[in-house]
Structure 1
Amino acid sequence: MVKSDLLAIEGGEPVVPAGAHRRWPDIVPADHEAVRRVLDSGELWGAHGTEVTALQDEYARYSGAQYVLAVNSGTAALHCALVAAGVNAGDEVIVPAFSFVATPMSVLHAGARPVFCDIDPSTFNIDPREAEKLVTERTSAIMPVHMNGLPADMKALRDIAQRHGLAIIEDAAQAHGSTYLGEPVGTMGVAGAFSLNGAKNLSAGEGGLFVTNDEGVFTAARRLAIFGEDTPRPKAGEVRAFWSRGIGWNYRIHEITAALARSQLKRLDAYNAQARANAAVLTKGLAGIRGIIPPQVPDGLESSFFRYRVCFRPSEFGWEGSDTEFRDRFLFALRAEGVAVSTWQLHPLPAQPVFRRDRYQAWRPEVDQLPLKPWDPGQYPETTRILEQSFVLGPDQEPLQVQSEDVMARYVEAFEKIVHRMGSVLSAEYQPVRVTPPIPQEEL
């Protein structure tokens, strides 16, 4: 056996050479110039800052929304959307069991209760059939997440919302530029929320964008984001009233962040196009490999491919151990071959302690001493299975949208190499996935 036939974990040459990946965010001279422009202007803050106002106008044109409010995080945008849509304390909001914790956490910020729903394993998005079963007299909204940039089943969800008089708030944090039957995501419900976090396809370090087509909803969101105040731009001779009409936060975004987002927005379509081209290479190559299931995009939908989640079937390799050990062995072998791969989330959201106490509350030292209610993975079988039988290609620092198609072809080659010698992978020494900080066993 020549060395090139050996797995990297056996001493062979990695398929993907060191230095092959491009890092994210992709910072170009225009981004430097945008930041310098703000510093030179001396205008660094304010609800009506030049860069913030321009970003809102430009993203409105890009997203198709009539109103855009730039805020300091995607979580803030979700909070604004929930409150502005009329979600009240004590209400229930249906959310997927698979997402980032910001989705249900924003529901808690609004004083409501997140009700977790299982996902459709073919899309990783909330399952509308399961969602309708969870509707009660206290349900006021459904919050679909366009997971990995793939739009949720909005027709089915809108039908449910219409039947039960519910608001739809779209968590589009991962889905800039994605479309559902030609409609831009974020604009199909009462309101939508996007993230400008450094990992996202539209990256500005941190930040968020609230969007809506309803003027009243926009006004309510803007008040929440700026201390409960109305904040028209003062005319000559006028000063700010400092008159709060309700509870509000300081969710204002920084002028430098807005300037960087504007610069990146000019390249968003190109980044998304590269992500889709890379996803096509991966899907074509992985579809023919035994036991590997690439993500699918239903007809009429366009994904931003913020992440590319690959599923696998351990049973097809004769594996009789746990799914998580198989996953960890596979990950270990892929990383050794130079493939950028991660798990992202390891547990369904309802497993997290914040959602398992008798009442939701902010953390303080004594909170850790309160008992946790048990949670049942059997309530979310598809979410649990997917998280144990999948991983993500293209993690935050090395995502699809800035890689070459040659690197993607090498990814496929790495899969072929590993699957061909899966027996060695399953018998070799490996390093299990480690999390930090470690999760106490009694909390699992």
Structure 2
Amino acid sequence: MSSPSGDSGGSGDPEGSGDPEGSGESDDSGSSGDVPSADEVVTAADVEAARERLEEVVHRTPLDGSTTFAERSGADAVGLKLENVQRTGSFKIRGAYNAMAQLSEAETETGVVAASAGNHAQGVALAGRLLDIDATIVVPEVTPAAKIDATRGYGAEVVVEGGDYERSYEHALELAEAENLTFVHPFDDERVIAGQGTVGLELVEQMPDVDTVLVSIGGGGLISGIATAVKADNPNVRVVGVQPEGAAHAKPSLERDEIHTLSEVDTVAEGIADARLLEKTFAAVRERVDDVVSVTDGDIAVATALLAERAKTVAEAAGAAPVAALLSGAVDVEGERVVAVVSGGNANLADHAELCRVGLERLGRSAELRLELAEWPTALGDVTDVVEREGAELDALERTRRTAADDLNRTPVRLGVAGSGPDHLRDVVAELEALDGVSVARHSLDRDV
């Protein structure tokens, strides 16, 4: 069996690349002749059937309109499909439950096993509890204790095995064979894909005149299901996949009409840090997805910050990727009605805060300065007075370690400031440089962070 790359469209954690890391070069595997047609994988009827199974199980998540994002992107209207407020914090419960609800009586009695360090784990665990099916989740040793506790909280048995997801995946398959358990794949399963497609059914009902739908791509399960539902409702709706530049395997796959595998991935969006599509998701993506675009990690940081500030929503990096495509201009949506699927919100709060900080820095609304003060700590008062007088906010102020290049008669200080934009903060820098006994050694306003 092929190894999965991970959860598609926002898992919260990487689920392995399925391929060993290498030099950054890629290889190709599979061909169009090896792949089934999209209708052989999943149909609109399958998605409708999944909705019936899920009707009393999942939330019908809101489609939140954003005037700010519409203005910034040039769109006529923007709706945010907030799967980050779904049960377990992501769309994953939809596919997991739909797959497990269709198990045979014998499969139900013996139980299921999955490998995951992220949202797929919690989706399978909750589905198991709701369906009274024993679920075993294999996680790598690096999985945070909080995520293990959350998965156990849904009633699953958690097995910690392996230094990375690849080994956890292999162990899950070994358990499946040894204990006659059913392996629940995170995305390359037609029942999982159909369950994820119920997101698409909801969004076209919430915005019937939608022109473009933006969806993250990891392993491809989410976009395969959504595209199936959306295209069945209106084949003229454009479905666009979004990937980080450091894990951009889907576009080459579409261009070459064969599965393209990356030898390594490198992105802050761990939930979509996948190396390839697999056969079933490739079949759906190549027939039903109109285009795939890439965004930088910096674009994702900006989107994460603005989602928190303007939409009041916490999104994990993978879930913010479609908004990154919208705001960065990676996809032209001028005058269109757009839905961006925010697929998950299970972000580590410290990581989320750091991503937001970087996003604000890239927007020129936050800056870090290194000052050298002739008189310590007397000059600190002058520094804080300038920041206050210029209407900026003081984020951080601390004495920092001296380097060999520093003047021994001056004290190095790290200063963090926030303001309305880069011009505002440059004015603050200019006023600080005008102070006696204060010099600005460097600042981040002109640095590509």
TM-score (normalizing by structure 2): 0.31
TM-score (normalizing by structure 1): 0.31
Give the greater-gyration-radius structure (CA).
2
